[in-house]
Amino acid sequence: MTGTLYGVGVGPGDPSLMTVRAVDLVRGADVVAYHCARHGRSHARGIVAQYLGTQVEEQLTYPVTTEATASPADYQGRLDAFYAEAAARLAAHLDAGRDVVVIAEGDPFFYGSYMHLHKRLADRYPTEVVPGVTSVAAAAAALGRPLVERDEVLTVLPGTLPPDELAARLAQTDAAAIMKLGRTFTGVRAALATAGRLDEACYVERASTDAQRTAPLADVAPDSVPYFAVGLVPSRVHADTTPSARAETAALIDGPRTGDVVVVGLGPGARDRLTPEASAALAAADDVVGYATYTARVPPNPRQRVHASDNKVESERAAFALDLARGGRRVAVVSSGDPGVFAMASAVVEVAAADYPDVPVRVVPGVSAAQAVAARVGAPLGHDYAMISLSDRLKPWEVVERRLGAVADADMAIALYNPASRSRTWQVEAARDLLLKYRDPSTPVVVGRDVDGPEESVRVVRLADLVPGEVDMRTLLIVGASTSRWPAPGTVYTPRRYG
C-alpha cells in the first residue's frame, strides 16, 4: 500500500480561511511539503505553522525565481528538472506508505505549483485535491466589490502577458483579475490605460493578512508592488446599479412603509408540514401575533417581535395585528392547522372588513388537523364530509346539535373539532348519543390526539365504544359514514363511490 498525495489549498493568507478539511489533513499528515525561493521562507508554511508538529517537512526550493537565465527555454528547462526531482522525492515517501500533503497558497489548481507535481504523480498514486480560497476571491472581499454580476464575464489574466495582448483582452471583457504583478506592474498599468480600464482598476496586496493594502491601481508606485498582489477590474453592472440600489434600500429603511397582515397556517405540528409559502411569510414578518402555544412553534428570530396572548381573545388579537400593520409593520398572525378552519383567518378578515379596510390581509393555508389525523389511518374523509366544532362558546349548543343531526342524517363522515375541554365535559357524550340515532354502533371513529406532537396517539374505536372521558381539547374525532370501511386495525377509508 502506498501513501496518498494531497494537494491542499491553504487560502490567501489568513489561517482562519483554511477549510476544515485542509486543517485536518495538515495535522494528520506524515509529510508536509511546500515550495519556496532560496531564502527559505514560505508563505504557505506560515499559514499552516500552528498546525505543524511531528510531520516530516519537505522544502521544495525553486532553482530560479526572478533571476536572469540564458533564455526562456533555459528557464523552463530548469523548472521542469526541478519539478521532476521534487516529484521523485515525494514518491519515495509515498512508496513507503506515508501520506504527503503539498500545501499551496490559495487554490492548488489556480496558478499553483502543486499542479506540476500532480501531473507527474497522479497516475501512480492515490491523490486528492482540496480546494482553497483564491487570492482573487480574497481581493474582491477586501475591496468589498463584486467581481461579476448577472451575465458578466470574468477573465483571469497573468501579468506576464505582453502588454499589447493584455490590453486587447482587457478591452474585450466585462471584469478581470490580473495575477503575478511584482515586476510586471508597469506593463500591466500601461495595458489598462491602453484598454481604457485604468480608472476602474483596483489594487490589492497580500489580501486577508495583516499587511493587506488596497488602493486605486493608478495610484500605486511600481517599485512598491510585491509578487503577492492582484489587480482587479470589478463588475461594471454592480458599479452602475449601486446608487439606485442604495436609494431604493434607503427608501425602505427610512421612509414610510405600508404594512400588511398575513394569517399563516402552521400545520398540525411537525416542522416538515409547514409549507414553503408559510415559511416565507414567517421569515418576512416584523411581528408574530398569536396564541402563546402557537407562537412558541415559530423559530426565534431576533429581528422579530413576538406578541403571545390567551386563546380566548381572537377579535382583540386581530385588531392588535391590524393596528401594527396600519403603522407600517409586516405582521404574521399564526394559527395551528389551517387558519381558515375554526381559526384566526375568520376573525382577522371580519375585523379588517369592519374597521381596517385600508390594511391588506392575506391568508396562507396550512395542513388542517382533520387532514393530518385522516392521513394517519388512510382515507376516512375520502368522500363528502363535514367539519363541525363541538364548542358552544361561540354558538349555542342547540345550533351544534341541529347541524350535527343534519350531517348525520345526510350520511357524511364528520370531523369533530374542539370536542372537549376542562370546562366542557359533556358535549362528546351528547354528540355520541345523537350520532347513534343515525349510525350503526360499529361505525368506525378515529380518535387522534396531539397528532405530530410528542404525545401523539391515533386509534380507531366503534362509535358505541367511544369513551367521552378519554377525549380532550387536543383530540380530533373523525366519525365515519355508513359507507366507511374498517378493514384492519388502524385503517379506515370511505370509498369515493356511493351506494
User: Can you spell out the DSSP letters for 358-375?
Assistant: TS-EEEE----HHHHHHH
Query: Which string of b and e fits 162-201 if b means at least 16 CB within 10 Å?
Result: ebeebbeebeebbbbbbbbbeebbebbbebbbbbebbebb
CB 365 within 8 A of CB 275: yes
CB 142 within 8 A of CB 208: yes
* CA angle centred on 438, ends 432 and 441, rounded to 5°: 60
Grid coordinates given for 174: 466585462
Parallel, antiparallel, or unpaired for β 475-479 and 413-417? antiparallel
**At a CB cut-off of 8 Å and minimum separation 6, what does 230 contact?**
135, 136, 139, 177, 178, 179, 181, 203, 204, 205, 207
How large is the angle between the packed helices 185-194 and 163-172, nearest 10 degrees? Answer: 50
Starting at the edge strand found earlier in the chain, the sheet holding 413-417 runs 385-389, 413-417, 475-479, 444-449, 457-462
Question: Could you tell me which of 77, 107, 83 has the C-alpha nearest to residue 7?
Answer: 107
Amino acid occupying residue 410:
A
**pTM, to two decimals:** 0.62
Terminal Cα distance for the chain, rounded: 74
| Strand, helix or coil for residue 391 | coil
Give the model's pLDDT for residue 417. Answer: 95
Q: Judge residue 120's burial from the number of C-beta atoms within 10 Å of its C-beta, 0-12 exposed, 13-18 middle, 19 or more buried.
A: middle
Greatest Cα pair distance in the chain: 109
Cα dihedral sign for 353, 354, 356, 358?
Answer: positive
Amino acid occupying residue 189:
R
**Cα–Cα dist 379/453, whole Å:** 21
Parallel, antiparallel, or unpaired for β 305-309 and 413-417? unpaired
Parallel, antiparallel, or unpaired for β 444-449 and 475-479? antiparallel
Bridge partners, residue 275, by sequence:
none
**Cα–Cα dist 106/241, whole Å:** 31
Give the model's pLDDT for residue 425. Answer: 84
Q: Which domains does the chain have, with CATH numbers?
A: 5-131 (3.40.1010.10), 136-238 (3.30.950.10), 260-367 (3.40.1010.10), 370-493 (3.30.950.10)
**pLDDT-flagged residues of the chain (< 50):** none
